Structure 1
Amino acid sequence: MSQDNKNSKIDYTLILIIIALAIISIFTLYTLNPYLIQKLGIVFYQKQIQWYIIGTVAIIVIMFFDYDRLRQVSWIFYGLGIIALTMLFFHFPPGIADSVNGAWGWFQIHGFGSLQPAEFMKVFLIIFLAHIIVAHNEKYPEHTLKMDFWLLAKIGMASIVPIFFLTQQPDLGGVLVLTAITVCMILVSGIKWRIILSIFGGLLITVVSIVIIYLTIPDQVNQFLIEKDLEHVGERFNAWLNPDENSQGDAYQLTRAMLAIGSGQLSGKGMSEFEVSYKIPEYQTDFIFTSIAEQFGFIGSSVVITIYFLLIYRLIHIALKCRDPFGSYMITGIIGMFAFQVFQNIGMSIQLLPITGLPLPFISYGGSSTLTYMLAIGIVLNIHYRLKTYMFDES
């Protein structure tokens, strides 16, 4: 016997975490304002406040609807996302579809600004995959080898379409995020572990083989990538492995970021002494972590990383408490999205990983990205608000 949990309410812990990240974002953009306004002529911290306000309104709207309704319209969201990516693929409509740094990933809307469909596609794919997994498990409760492969095929087909369009923009960071989301949701889909381990074992061997081949015959691999219009992948990989040799070229951002982070030392320069000494491109987006490390040093950086750990922990806690598979699957996809982006963004800033152009969730400036993250948190808050308990539960 089940009953609505009378103690179900808004998760204020999660809200406080998001508020903390929002304050860090706005404050960091404010300290960068003299440099950014001189270089780009835009007051980014004010625009970021606007996006947080819009995101808050979106969360309030989401809270009025039962999250289970998303199952009914999941294919609509997914379809709209694919249509938007298809339009960008054909550079349509002219004058609105736009490229930034050579990537056709934005719509420039007069009076509104830029819109990046790839960001919203992350949440749309999460919802759609959660629906696919739940519908499959409801129809085939017995997990046979054949049915597990069929579920894996459906997940793969749903994911490969947006991944293909993102490779054509090109948007390597977006491809990796969608892949991370897909992998996380496969892990909890109920597919037998021997299948999962076999597939990921094969993928691991493939990746290791590619790395060994690149290190052995880099010139031939780079030529192959150029012929396949994937030279940007080789350039970023080479800049990551040999930053000193490319400090004025492809590794310019990385070397400047490392210098900025190192200059912060233990406690940072502080606001009073902070000046943008290392003029890093995309300071307000991809490399905003370097500004935090430069101003507040190792201590400030550790605080930011700790807040992200608390965010992921809280999301895992809610996912484990949720008895509804659809809700749990969606939160799992959201965890994969946030965890990968945080790890990748900070990792690329300290040369742990290659540069992929991914923003730091909730802190980097970005209208589409910030709104996407707020929508994801709105879904989680909705799920938590409607949690149900069962008699004789331990908790």
Structure 2
Amino acid sequence: MSALRSNLFLLALGLSLLGLAMVYSATYREFGSHYLVVRAAHVVVGVVVFWLASRVRYTVWRRIAPWLYLGTVAGLLLVFVPGVGVRAGGAWRWVDLGFFTLQPGELAKLAAVVTLSCAVARLPAGSGLPLRALGAVGVLFGLVLVEPDFGTSLVVLGGMAGVLWASEVRTRDLLGCGAAAFAVLVAVMLLAPYRRERFMTFLDPWAVADGSGYQVVQGMLAISSGGLFGEGAGAGSRSAAVPELPTDMIFALVGEELGFVGMAAVIAAFGMLGLYGVRVALTAPSALARCMASGITAMLCVQAVLNMGAVMVVLPLAGITLPFVSYGGSSLLVSFAAVGILYRISEDGERAREVVGGERSADARGDSGRRHGRPRDPRAVRG
């Protein structure tokens, strides 16, 4: 399991370093080394956040959860305050802290997982849905949705689904909750004109290549120009026409400069991250640890699938970053914190198994001693 923990960190770090190179390639022509320096600082701080999260026992998150939840709700409300919230692209998603622009929606993903995990972990097997906890997490989902940030709200739901999947809640209640969530998502998508337009663009982007399909089409052209092995790091030119290249569309740059092989490697890295996360959940030492590990794994993987699927036109555009790879400080720090929590759960699980194994070994030695007429405790022998 120690190798698994090392691999978790190395995957996160490797993807972040790839992102560092891709962000520089996407921005150096216009901004020089500015975004390279900022991104490098984000990676360094992210590693520190990982280390801090990996030092916190998973049980401590029960005490942290209420404060994390309240702080996230406050942040999500602050984005709408004039002079504090930052509006860009028609959405209120950021809070200007002066030295750093925080995206509370990123915190909402982790807060939803931790809050719901602490609630469902206390439930006995076969319990119904924890409606109060679902309502509390639903507030996070709703605030993210009205920014509006449909993509991040989908990731919040993905993390919640991961938590509930690992819980002891009745299967029929889980199915009912899933059906209700699906109905809400369909309604939300159909009620907003720009979301309907995104879906129609996904069905036939070439029909609106000069309009709403421009971003998708340019991303497809960038990927196709990369071929099998790509044009080389820093040599991409077609992707320069892709809107939101350093953030939402960074995977298109990976395809152009590193080719199909590079894209396959990134997909494989996220696949391995998902498999390691599932293994951590399956070997977790308690219900709380299992729910948190499952929710975090689902959160990271759902976001990666939504981003890469949109760039490859397998899914509609969601307007979210690729974890660890895209430019975005809030996203990177939350992703590193999530992997740090997984790391600690794995470590605590291994320690718990060692304790149980030691007790069983001691019991076995005691039983063997009694069978041979020896007392279990050597101190009972009097000379």
1:217 alignment partner in structure 2: none
Q: Do structure 1's residue 340 and structure 2's residue 318 form an aligned pair?
A: no
**Cα separation, 2, equivalents of 1:80 and 1:275:** 42
After TM superposition, give the deviation of residue 261 of structure 1 in Å.
0.7
Q: TM-score, normalised by structure 1?
A: 0.83
Q: How many residues align?
A: 355
Residues 267 and 50 (structure 1), Cα distance of their counterparts in 2 relative to 1, 3 Å cut: same
2:261 alignment partner in structure 1: 299
2:48 alignment partner in structure 1: 57
Residues 162 and 202 (structure 1), Cα distance of their counterparts in 2 relative to 1, 3 Å cut: closer
Using CA pairs under 8 Å that are at least 6 residues apart, name the structure with larger relative contact order, 1 or 2.
Answer: 1
**Cα separation, 2, equivalents of 1:235 and 1:45:** 34
After TM superposition, give the deviation of residue 274 of structure 1 in Å.
2.9
1:83 alignment partner in structure 2: 74
Match of 2:58, SS state, is coil
Q: Do structure 1's residue 274 and structure 2's residue 252 form an aligned pair?
A: no
**Cα separation, 1, equivalents of 2:150 and 2:276:** 29
After TM superposition, give the deviation of residue 8 of structure 1 in Å.
6.5
Q: Do structure 1's residue 126 and structure 2's residue 106 form an aligned pair?
A: no
RMSD (CA atoms)? 2.4
**Cα separation, 2, equivalents of 1:319 and 1:277:** 39
**Cα separation, 2, equivalents of 1:209 and 1:375:** 31
1:95 to 80, 83, 98: 83
After TM superposition, give the deviation of residue 23 of structure 1 in Å.
1.8
After TM superposition, give the deviation of residue 269 of structure 1 in Å.
1.2
Answer whether contact 1:78 1:124 (CA < 8 A) is retained. Answer: yes
Match of 2:241, SS state, is coil
Partner amino acid, structure 1, of 2:193: E
After TM superposition, give the deviation of residue 202 of structure 1 in Å.
6.3
Q: Do structure 1's residue 43 and structure 2's residue 34 form an aligned pair?
A: yes
Q: Name structure 1 gaps, 5 residues minimum.
A: 1-6, 215-220
Q: Do structure 1's residue 179 and structure 2's residue 157 form an aligned pair?
A: yes
1:310 alignment partner in structure 2: 272
After TM superposition, give the deviation of residue 244 of structure 1 in Å.
1.7
After TM superposition, give the deviation of residue 210 of structure 1 in Å.
7.1
Q: Do structure 1's residue 161 and structure 2's residue 139 form an aligned pair?
A: yes
Larger Rg: 2
Answer whether contact 1:10 1:385 (CA < 8 A) is retained. Answer: no
Partner amino acid, structure 1, of 2:65: S
1:74 alignment partner in structure 2: 65
Q: TM-score, normalised by structure 2?
A: 0.86
Answer whether contact 1:97 1:108 (CA < 8 A) is retained. Answer: yes
2:128 alignment partner in structure 1: 148
After TM superposition, give the deviation of residue 176 of structure 1 in Å.
0.6
Answer whether contact 1:256 1:278 (CA < 8 A) is retained. Answer: no
Q: Point out 4+ residue stretches in structure 1 off by more than 4 angstroms.
A: 7-10, 201-204, 206-211
1:17 alignment partner in structure 2: 11
2:288 alignment partner in structure 1: 326
1:375 to 327, 337, 344: 337
**Cα separation, 2, equivalents of 1:270 and 1:99:** 36
Answer whether contact 1:107 1:114 (CA < 8 A) is retained. Answer: yes
Answer whether contact 2:49 2:337 (CA < 8 A) is retained. Answer: yes
